[in-house]
Amino acid sequence: MNGYQVENVLVRDTFAEAFSVTGTRLIVTAATPRWAEIAASEVTGYGTSVIACDAEAGIEVRLPAEQTPDGRPGVAIMLYAFNQESLGKAVIKRVGQCLLTCPTTAVYNGVEQVADDKQLPLGKQLRFFGDGYQASKGIGARRFWRIPVMDGEFLCEDICGTFRGIAGGNLLIGGESQAAALQAAEAAIACMQECPGIIMPFPGGIVRSGSKVGSRYAGLRASTNDAHCPTLSARSESHLAAATRAMYEIVIDGSDFNSIQQGMRMGLRAACQQSGVTEVSAGNYGGKLGKHHFHLRDLLDKL
């Protein structure tokens, strides 16, 4: 496979293939940054891949008090699912189980300009936990619910908005050792977390069990990506450089094409600057999985 040299690293001439999803953005606040972080981590847990999870979820950005609706420390999170109905179910379950229960939290819609057909119920449904003691409050065009809980009130916006986003942008980072590949992936994540509008939903943003669509076992939707698995290079049709001994994947979901592309560009630059990196590639299925294609050569234009 042809490629380009960046900082003595081979960047493959290939593309990441992504697909359309429905997303939402919530702003979670709490009395302290620590509790806002705990709440955001809990509500986005088990949110790695829609292959098996109800939603792909992650932290987008930490927000200082002056940038939140109630003047408290906050975290913006994003959740993505195949369609609006499945996303709505995931949001109610996650907010009800992980944010309603978490000390001092409040939850607000983080999507601007919400059309009527792009709404999901939030406090509108969670209010019933108040067992008749809940109260509503309108501020301008927005409505909020005050649900009594044992440390005071859980404030929750009536609805949240949705948008059409993209899931499945990715980078594959290879190294001459496990330590080198992981260090490069961590450096990439650190830079990508500074980019608004995207999340990296896997543990620490990094995937070691990269997958391909389908399996030789009937009924299994995904299986190990043998073409990029160094331990299988002698037993499968390997796509790896000879020096690659470990590879990590970074999966990116985002609100739009440009946000994901910028995140990938930042990650690619950071990875290529690390020692021991042998190659950077991307995963695709020949254009059959999704209509959104992120060509690595396009990322190099502004490096």
Residue that has been written with the tokens 């995963």 in this structure: 283
* Structural domain span for residue 86: 22-163
| 190 and 280 fall within a common domain | yes
User: Are residue 202 and residue 247 in the same domain, yes or no?
Assistant: yes
Residue 142's DSSP bridge partners are: 139
pLDDT, tens only, 48-66: 999 899 999 999 999 999 9
Find, among 279, 296, 301, 300, the residue nearest to 13 by Cα. Answer: 296
pLDDT of residue 219: 87
Q: 3-state SS of the chain: helix, strand, coil percent to 5?
A: 30, 35, 35
Residues 215 and 128 in one domain: no
Q: In this predicted model, what pLDDT tens digit does every residue of 70-82 receive, in sequence order?
A: 999 999 999 999 9
pLDDT tens per residue, range 20-46:
999 999 999 999 999 999 999 999 999
Instruction: Tell me: do 240 and 293 sit in the same domain.
Output: yes
Token pair recorded at residue 17: 């293939």
Residues 256 and 289 in one domain: yes
* Nearest in space to 27 (alpha carbons), one of 152, 111, 87, 94: 111
- Give the tens place of pLDDT for each residue, 172-200: 999 999 999 999 999 999 999 999 999 99
Q: pLDDT > 70: what percent of the chain?
A: 100
Confidence bin at 1 (pLDDT 50/70/90): low
Q: Which amino acid is at 93?
A: K
Whether the pLDDT of residue 287 is over 90: the answer is no
In a shared domain, residues 72 and 171 = no
* 176: amino acid identity, one letter: E
Check residue 285 and give its pLDDT: 83
What is the number of structural domains in the chain?
A: 2
Among 131, 147, 163, identify where a domain stops.
163
Looking at 163, 180, 206, the residue that finishes a domain is 163
CATH number at residue 9: 3.30.70.520
Q: What is the mean pLDDT of the chain?
A: 96
Is the pLDDT at 293 greater than 60? The verdict is: yes
Residue 2's pLDDT band (boundaries 50, 70, 90)? confident
Q: What's the residue count for the chain?
A: 303
- Angstrom distance (rounded) from CA 58 to CA 5: 32
Q: How far is CA 255 from the centre of its chain?
A: 10
Q: How many CA atoms within 13 Å lie on the side-chain side of 81?
A: 19
pLDDT in the model for residue 190: 98
Whether 133 and 204 map to the same domain: the answer is no
